[in-house]
């Protein structure tokens, strides 16, 4: 019982008694005979509650009718509980007891707490025993794995040794490198697995798994260490699936993004590390809220820009205030951002623990609501990615499994939009999608953040197929190379646009690109600065390989001219002719516009002259001295000017204000062929 009613409150989950007396108890059914050895107790600590149990008793039963107390010699044992709400306290029994049921019976508690409640969090220790008569035998999980891997928790030094041993066993397909250091100086090691390690191959996608962002969520770390062992062993054995994956994909595994936090949790051990110890960096930073908030940048631009065609929808730049040395950004976060920028990743997953669900972007709500469905332009593909992992995970896909905590994700098929679960500004998933070409989801691997080492073989069996099939999704969609039509050189930073999906990606240094898409037919356009855009139809099939969709772009004449002049060369005749044609076309367009304006002016003049003729017939007898509302002016008979003068004055003299009169005094009345005599009494 480890998390809260409110998802954002990581301390609040607890069992609370209905009444405040010593008759209350928490009963656990182990479903089969179990050798119970001890209990770990915690209190309840949250932003609105603080409760602890100081002392408690324990009873055992095989049928829930007869209960046997845990004894300390001739007296019933009373165990020490908590003095504070967060620190786990271990109590081991003097002798282990075999039973199916166990009760924890509080005897004293903090009565001045929130309403004086009896609240606790507990973990029961024991070993399951075989029982041929167990009606729940079909629910019994395997305790071993057929794979011969190093199933244990590895601290920093042990992790280094394991990675080195994998590299020595498979030197042709592995490489170890570091992307930076933690706050205390521990290196962030990555294992690369590829048939050509250390090199980006044209057309081969880059994939990454990241684990240990929260140091106490240890399962992801061990799964990635097991995965690198497994891929090495199966590649040497000649497993076709693994061989194909290694040869067609460049795989990067970062098992520990927060090694400082892990070391803190590891020292306490899986049973005593608690729910939060080691979650944060050494500086106290939650790295899953520490990436640049590009969501707000995007949504603000959408609100301010009236011309939607000018909006960008990818490769959002990082705000300057985030990159400054004074910014509160963890060194580990900076290292991962540089890693993302240096390698053209296509697909990724971020491994966490404490729940059983796969979440996909966006993780942040648009209006900072606590939770609200906030989809990306690639909502359908992200749902596919999440479903792929969840549906192949043996625990998530079990329809009879119990929820980890208060939220039952089985109702959502074990996938959910991140923002629809809880608001996470500054997440790595959102940053990856908005700043790079890479799509990323978060996988919550297990109810227990730091499972016991004995559970690791089972967890590997639960996740092995999911880890493999998710990596294979990097080959779904379209891929190709954008080249210069004349030189066949790859074009970097070409924009790949898919009609009806408002999120573009870009080609990388060699001109190759990958666009993850669900099966279907798409209109795809490639464009680059200095080139004419090109559009073609690309059909994505259901097979596990991408559709090739290459582009050859033609340089614009202007760009060709720039290139030639930059080299100091002569302009070829075909380019001269092309430029002359463009100038003539521009001249024709300009001339046409001028002629259209002239024609419009002639039509307007004809209309005015016609009106003027009718006007002069009506006004001939009235020419001379005229008075209009306090103004005296004279009109000269000189053609159309009398009409314009009279028309102008009739419009302006409607306004009776000193401001308007001063404006009239500044008019060039001579140009209007009129004389105005302002009566002095008006001033």
Residue 449, both tokens: 């953040």
Residues with active-site annotation: 444
**What are φ and ψ of residue 75, in 5° steps?**
-115, 155
Residue 350: name the closest of 223, 460, 226 by CA. 223
Confidence of residue 594 (pLDDT cuts 50, 70, 90): confident
Q: Name the pLDDT band for 679 (thresholds 50, 70, 90).
A: very low
What span, in angstroms and rounded, lies between the C-alpha atoms of 483 and 153? Answer: 48
Cβ atoms 635, 649 nearer than 8 A = no
Mean pLDDT within 377-397:
96
The C-alpha angle with vertex 342 and arms to 340 and 344, in degrees rounded to 5, equals 70
The residue among 380, 341, 382, 381 whose CA lies nearest residue 359 is: 382
The phi and psi torsions of 659 (rounded to 5 degrees) equal -60, -45
What would the two tokens of residue 334 be?
């900076």
Q: Is the per-residue pLDDT at 561 higher than 50?
A: yes
The answer for residues whose C-beta is within 8 angstroms of residue 62's C-beta and 6 or more apart is 33, 99, 100, 101
pLDDT tens per residue across span 511-547: 999 999 999 999 999 999 999 999 999 999 988 889 9
* Residue-averaged pLDDT of the chain: 85
Sign of CA dihedral 139, 143, 149, 152: positive
Q: Strand 415-417 vs strand 357-360: parallel, antiparallel, or unpaired? A: parallel
Q: Is 417 exposed, middle or buried (0-12, 13-18, 19+ CB in 10 A)?
A: buried
Bridge-based pairing of strands 206-211 and 345-352 is parallel
What is the length of the chain? 683
Tell me the two tokens of residue 138: 């079909």
pLDDT above 90 for 614: no
Structure tokens at 293: 């908030």
Rg of the chain (C-alpha set): 38
Which residue is listed with tokens 């582009």?
Answer: 551
Token match 């002639």: residue? 602
pLDDT at residue 223 tops 80: yes
Residue among 682, 565, 672 nearest 628 (CA)? 682
pLDDT (0 to 100) of residue 26: 93
- Backbone dihedral angles phi then psi of residue 26, each to the nearest 5 degrees: -110, 120
Using the predicted structure, report yes or no on whether residue 560 has a pLDDT greater than 70.
yes
> Comparing 136 with 302, which gets the higher pLDDT?
302
DSSP annotation of 261: H
Residues 457, 460, 464: CA angle, nearest 5 degrees: 150
Record the tokens describing residue 120, joined without a space: 């606790």
- The string of pLDDT tens digits covering residues 58-95 is 999 999 999 999 999 889 999 999 888 888 899 999 99
Q: Is the peptide bond before 362 cis (omega within 30 degrees of 0)?
A: yes
Judged against a pLDDT cut of 70, whether residue 630 lies above it is answered with no
Tens-digit pLDDT profile for residues 537-552: 999 998 888 999 999 9
Taking every pair of Cα atoms in the chain, the longest distance, rounded to a whole number of angstroms, is 134
Give CA–CA dist 80/83, Å, rounded: 9
- Per-residue pLDDT tens digits for 315-329: 999 999 898 888 999
Helices 573-619 and 641-652 meet at what angle, rounded to 10? 80
How is residue 445 written in tokens? 């691997």
């Amino acid at each position: 019982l480890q998390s809260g009613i409110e998802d954002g409150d990581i301390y609040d989950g607890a069992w609370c008694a209905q009444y405040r007396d010593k008759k209350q108890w928490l009963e656990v059914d182990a479903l089969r005979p179990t050798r119970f050895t001890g209990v770990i107790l915690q209190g309840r600590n949250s932003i609105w509650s603080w409760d602890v149990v100081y002392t408690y008793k324990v009873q055992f039963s095989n049928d829930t009718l007869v209960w046997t107390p845990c004894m300390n010699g001739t007296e019933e044992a009373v165990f020490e509980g908590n003095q504070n709400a967060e620190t786990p306290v271990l109590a081991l029994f003097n002798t282990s007891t075999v039973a199916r049921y166990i009760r924890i019976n509080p005897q004293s508690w903090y009565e001045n707490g929130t309403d004086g409640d009896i609240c606790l969090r507990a973990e029961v220790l024991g070993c399951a025993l075989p029982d041929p008569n167990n009606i729940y035998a079909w629910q019994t999980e395997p305790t071993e794995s057929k794979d011969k891997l190093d199933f244990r928790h590895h601290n920093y030094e042990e992790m280094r040794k394991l990675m080195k041993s994998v590299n020595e066993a498979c030197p042709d397909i592995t490489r170890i490198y570091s992307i930076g250091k933690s706050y205390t100086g521990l290196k962030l090691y990555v294992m690369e697995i590829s048939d050509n390690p250390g090199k980006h191959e044209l057309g081969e996608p880059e994939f990454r798994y990241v684990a240990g962002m929260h140091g106490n969520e240890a399962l992801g770390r061990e799964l990635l260490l097991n995965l690198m062992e497994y891929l090495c062993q199966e590649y040497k054995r000649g497993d076709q699936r693994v061989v194909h994956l290694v040869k067609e994909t460049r795989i990067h595994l970062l098992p520990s993004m927060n090694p400082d936090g892990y070391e803190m949790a590891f020292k306490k051990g899986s049973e005593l590390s608690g729910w939060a110890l080691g979650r944060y960096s050494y500086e106290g930073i939650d790295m899953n809220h520490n990436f640049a908030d590009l969501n707000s940048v995007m949504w603000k631009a959408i609100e301010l820009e009236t011309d939607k065609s000018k909006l960008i929808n990818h490769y959002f730049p990082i705000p300057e205030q985030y990159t400054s040395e004074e910014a509160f950004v963890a060194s580990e976060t900076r290292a991962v951002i540089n890693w993302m920028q240096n390698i053209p990743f296509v697909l990724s997953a971020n491994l966490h623990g404490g729940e059983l669900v796969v979440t996909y972007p966006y993780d942040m709500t648009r209006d900072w609501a606590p939770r609200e469905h906030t989809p990306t332009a690639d909502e359908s593909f992200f749902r596919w990615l999440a479903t792929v992992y969840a549906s192949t995970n043996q625990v998530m896909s079990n329809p009879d499994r119990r929820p980890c905590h208060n939220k039952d994700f089985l109702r959502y098929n074990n996938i959910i939009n991140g923002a629809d679960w809880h608001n996470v500004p500054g997440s790595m998933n959102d940053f990856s999608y908005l700043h790079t070409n890479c799509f990323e989801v978060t996988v919550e691997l297990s109810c227990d953040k730091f499972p016991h080492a004995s559970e690791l073989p089972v967890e590997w069996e639960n996740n092995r197929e999911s880890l493999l099939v998710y990596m294979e999704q990097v080959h779904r969609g379209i891929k190709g190379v954008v080249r210069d039509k004349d030189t066949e050189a790859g074009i970097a930073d070409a924009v790949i646009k898919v009609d009806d999906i408002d999120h573009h990606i870009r080609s990388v240094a060699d001109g190759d690109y990958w666009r993850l898409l669900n099966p279907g037919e798409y209109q795809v356009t490639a464009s680059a600065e200095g080139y004419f855009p090109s559009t073609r139809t690309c059909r994505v099939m259901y097979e596990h390989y991408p559709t090739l969709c290459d582009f050859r772009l033609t340089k614009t004449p202007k760009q060709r001219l720039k290139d030639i002049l930059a080299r100091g060369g002569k302009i070829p005749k075909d380019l001269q002719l092309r430029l002359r044609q463009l100038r003539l076309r521009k001249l024709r367009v300009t001339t046409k516009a001028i002629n259209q304006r002239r024609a419009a002016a002639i039509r307007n003049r004809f209309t005015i002259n016609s009106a003027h003729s009718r006007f002069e017939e009506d006004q001939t007898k009235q020419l001379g001295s005229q008075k209009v509302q306090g103004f005296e002016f004279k009109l000269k008979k000189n053609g159309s000017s009398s009409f314009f003068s009279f028309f102008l004055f009739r419009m302006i003299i409607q306004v009776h204000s000193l401001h308007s009169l001063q404006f009239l005094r500044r008019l060039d009345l001579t140009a209007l062929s009129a004389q105005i005599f302002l009566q002095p009494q008006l001033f």
